[in-house]
Each structure stands twice: as structure tokens, then as C-alpha cells.
Structure 1
Amino acid sequence: MELIEHKFQYKNIPIYGWHVQPKEVAGIAVLVHGLGEHSERYLSDVVPRLLDCNLVVFSYDNFGHGKSGGKRGHCPDYDALLQLLDNIIAKARMHFPNNPVFLYGHSLGGNLVLNYALRFRSDLAGIIATSPYLRLAFEPPKWKMIIGRALLRFWPSFTMSSGLDPEDLSRIATEVIKYKQDPLVHDKVSPMFTFPIQEAGDWAIDNAHKLRTHVLLIHGTGDNVIDYRGTERFYKNSKRAELRLIEGGYHELHKDVGCNDTLNMIGVWINMQMESVAV
């Protein structure tokens, strides 16, 4: 697997990106990672499965994440997150024109790809959203919410701990250890990377009926980070979405018990969409 790196720029913020190409290119997958992590965490599991579907995979580290610039855990605003995704999609299409485009988003990435499909006019072949960040599975302390709201107005770049417990990511102990030892992972989050995301999640649920793109939603019922019932609500509000609930599954289903079955499920769905595009 040869990783070809790209250097992007968004309003003077350097953005790290890359793509991996199969032997035969039948389509494009743009992959968007979750909060606090980075794109290269998907190279060992998700990316190989997408390559098996003959999809060239483009990905990037979001603002304040991984090898990209910006304060850790902070972004300019929600619109910038969507605009950056749009720029990456355009770059992928420029490199591999006339190919169907899929979006793959996990957690925060799931929030972004779903909102992108609802807010941007773009011809997409399909969307995969795993554990999409639509609603939190826990209630943050009231004091933290009050302070955060005030900081959003007066000091939006102030960061504090996200409170994420790595043990909630996977039931596989070695995966939790890898996460904890990854030097590019952080638990920082700013008000700008918190409240607009939550509001966009609620907005996406309420506007899911406007979806024009076929979507595969996958969520674990044992997810203690993001509430699978928010994903269920999105599914029930849309005629274009399919939902697969993984009984007892944790947040990172691609690194959890039964991950091979989950990845195979995604591969089968993509191949079905590719067949419909080819007709």
C-alpha cells in the first residue's frame, strides 16, 4: 500500500492529506476521521476494505488534528469544516475524474458527511456513517456546558479535556492501548468544536427527510460515547437511509469485536451501490 501525501491549505492553516490507490480504480472514497484522532488510524482496517472495492481512498487530518495545523482540538467554525471537506472532494475528483464518489465518516466525520450531503449540492454515489456524532450518549456536567457556552462567545479557541474514556472505544484491549499510546491522538476540544457540532447533529436529524443520497448508517448499541438512538432517529426521518445496529458494539466498530463482519457489511453495501451506478 503506497500512501501518497498531499499538502492542502485553508486560510493559512496547513492541512495534511493523502490518498491510496488500488490497482484498478472504479470509484473514490473520501474518509473523514473522528474527534481527537487522525486519518492514518484507518490505514490498517477501513482503508484495505475500501481498496478491495476498487475505491481510491482520499483522507485528511482535520483542523487541530493529527499532522494538520491549528490549535489542537479547535477549528475556525462549522462552515470551515464543511468547506474543507468540499475542497478535499474537489481535489479527489480532479485527480480521478469521472468516478463515482463515496463519503465515509466516523463519529465527528459521520456528522460532517451527513451534513455535507444535506447542505451541499453534490452528486454522491453513497455515504457510510459509522457511529455518527448526532447526539451524545452522556449528559456533560451543567457547569461545563454553562462555561462552554460563555467561552463560545468570548473565547471560542479555549480548549479543555473532552472527557472521552478510551475504554469506551473498543472491547479489544490491544486497540485501547494503541489509542492511548498514539502520539497524534489528543483529548482537547474547544467550544467551537463542541456546540456547533451538537447543533448540526440535531439539525441533521430534523432534516434527514431532505436526503438525496443513499446512506448506510452503522451504530453499536453499546456505544457510550455517541447515542445510537440519535442515529435511529435520523434513519426513521429519511427514506434514503439504511440502518445496521451492532448489538453491544462499542464506538469504534472498525476496531471492535466483530470488526471483520462490520467491514464486510460495508464492502457488500458499497458493491451494491457501485452496481446501481453502473446500470
Structure 2
Amino acid sequence: MQKTEFEITSHGTKIYGLKIVPAEIKGAIVLVHGFGEHSGRYFENVVPMLTENGLAVYLYDNFGHGRSGGKRGHCPNYEALMDLLESIIEKARSEFATLPIFLYGHSMGGNLVLNHVLRFENEIKGVIASSPYLRLAFEPPKWKMFIGKFLLHVLPSVTLPSGLDPKGISRIPEEVVKYVKDPLIHDLVSPMFSFPIMDAGEWAIKNAYRLKVPTLLLHGTGDPIIDHKGTEAFHNNSNKTTLNLFEGGYHELHHDICSATMLQTIGNWLRRLL
């Protein structure tokens, strides 16, 4: 197993990345983390499962997240998020030109990988989206939405607490404690980071019929943060998806009670495509 850190600059921001390469390589996968967190939270369980299946893993911290630069919780715009993802894909493709490339996204990352394959022509072999941020599981206060949309036009970079309850990530108390104590996790979000993601989620649901890439969707029915019914709606509008719902599962299935089953499901799906 070989680990190599790398850094790229995207839209004037230094982006932290890490490449993990197994001894036997069958393909490469770009992993995109969720909002407020960072790529390091996938080392314990997700990355080992991917490398055991012969995939070189490319991870990066998005704008304003983890070890990357930028104001915490803010990004230039949605197009910049797409550009950055494409840059990492191109890096993987340049280094493993003859091997299949996969995408893996959790929550916000799920929103990004699904939108990427819907919006752009590419040669992605398959997509994995866990608890993809397509539709919130709750309705934000109307006053908060009103102010947020106003700020999107006048102060798009101002950041405010997201207000999400960390207890919603997992039914395992220890996982919640680790999340809360992680110094690289933040609870800030700007209008430019939040509203375009919401809009892109609804767009993806409506345009899921355009999907050309085999896609595995995973979501917990007890997720209090992102609505699993939005993922179901995406699945029902496409003939390229496989949907796995985990009864009672919370937002971070890879850190939840059902993590072993969830990871096994992904491994089985990958082996059919490799």
C-alpha cells in the first residue's frame, strides 16, 4: 500500500489531496466527502474496502474544508466544485490511463458525483452515492431561507452555522463523539455553498433519466439530515441505478450500525464491474 499526498490549485485555492495505491491495481476511484467534514474520515473503513477490491483511491478536501484552503464553508460557485472534481478525475485518468475510473460521493459528495456524470460526457465506469444530498430531510425555517437567498445576491461568502444536529450522522454514540471532537470538521456554510447544492439536487432528480453510467445508491431510511425519498425519486427516474435502502440507517452509513453490510454491498457491486 502506497500513500502519496498531492496538492493542486483550483480557482486560486490550494487543494489538499491524497492517493492510496494497493499492490494489485484493477482501477481507480475518486472519493468526494460530505459537507463540513473531510477526506480523512474515510480512512478507517471505506478506503480499506476500496483498496481490497483493487482500486487506487484519490481523495481530496473540497474548498473551505479539511486541509484545503479557502474560507471555511464557502466555495467560489457550483461550477468550481464541478471543475475541481474534474481536475481530480483527470489526475486519476492520466496516471491510470488504461484502467476504469469510478466515482464515490457521500452526501454533498454524492450530489457532486451524480451531477458530474449527468452534466458532462465522460468515461466513468461506475458511480457510488451514499446518502446523496439531493433533498433535505427537513424544511429549514422560512425566515432563514429568505435571508439566505437575499445574502446569496449581496454577500454570497458570508458564513453562518448550518444548525445540523451531529447526532443524525450515526446511531453509534462513539461515532458522534469522534465527529464532534474532530478539529477539521466545521459547522459553517455560505449561501453560495448551500443554495446551489439544493438546486443541483432537485435538478439531478428531474434529470436522472439522462444517466448513462451504472450507479449504486445507498441510503438509510432513518436519515434525519438528507431525505432518502429524494434518493428513491432519483432511482425511480433512471434505468441505470441500483438502490439499497438500510432500514433505520442514519446519515453516515459507513459509520453506522449497518456499516459492515453497507461496505460489503459496495464491494459486491464493484466486483461485478471490475
TM, length-normalised to structure 2: 0.99
**Aligned equivalents of 2:29 and 2:10: distance in 1?**
21
In 1: Cα distance, 2:3 partner to 2:26 partner: 18
Counting only pairs closer than 5 Å after superposition, residues 154-233 of structure 1 correspond to structure 2 as 154-233=154-233
After TM superposition, the runs of 4+ consecutive aligned structure 1 residues lying more than 3 A away are none
Unaligned runs of 5+ in 1: 275-279
In structure 1, what is the Cα distance between the partners aligned to 2:39 and 2:189?
17
Quote how far apart the aligned CAs of 1:2 are: 3.9
User: Counterpart of 1:93?
Assistant: 93
Q: Secondary structure at the match of 1:125?
A: strand
For the residues of structure 2 that align with 1:3 and 1:18, how far apart are their CA atoms? 7
What is the alpha-carbon distance in structure 2 between the residues aligned to residue 84 and residue 51 of structure 1?
Answer: 23
Q: Which amino acid aligns with 1:197?
A: I
Q: What are the Cα deviations for residues 152-201 of structure 1, in whole angstroms up to 9, with x where unaligned?
A: 00000000011111100001111111101100000000001111000000
Of stretches 109-118 and 7-16 in structure 1, the one that deviates more from structure 2 is 7-16
1:70 positional shift: 0.4
Give how far 1:96 is off. Answer: 1.7
Match of 1:248 in 2: 248
- Between the aligned partners of 2:251 and 2:3, the Cα distance in structure 1 is 26
User: 1:3 Cα deviation (Å)?
Assistant: 2.4
Partner of residue 271, structure 1:
271
Three-state SS of the structure 2 residue aligned to 1:194 is helix
Q: Distance in 2 between matches of 1:19 and 1:60?
A: 9
Q: Percent identity?
A: 57
State how 1:4-43 maps to structure 2 within 5 Å.
4-43=4-43
CA offset at residue 24 of structure 1?
0.8
**When the two structures are superposed, what TM-score results if normalisation uses the length of structure 1?**
0.97
Contact 2:168–2:251 (CA under 8 A) maintained in structure 1 = yes
| Rounded Cα–Cα distance in structure 2 between residues aligned with 1:67 and 1:20 | 17
Q: Distance in 1 between matches of 2:129 and 2:12?
A: 29
How far apart in 2 are the matches of 1:88 and 1:67?
Answer: 16
Root mean square deviation of aligned Cα: 0.7
1:129 aligned partner: 129
The 1-side partners of 2:53 and 2:115 are apart by: 25
Structure 2 Cα separation of the partners of residues 67 and 205 of structure 1: 31
SS in 1 for 2:263: helix
Q: Deviations over 1:228-264 (max 9, x none)?
A: 0000000000000110000000000000002011001
Distance of 1:126 and 1:13 partners within structure 2 = 29
Structure 2: 5+ residue stretches without partners: none
Give the Cα–Cα distance (whole angstroms) in 2 for the partners of residues 109 and 230 of structure 1. Answer: 15
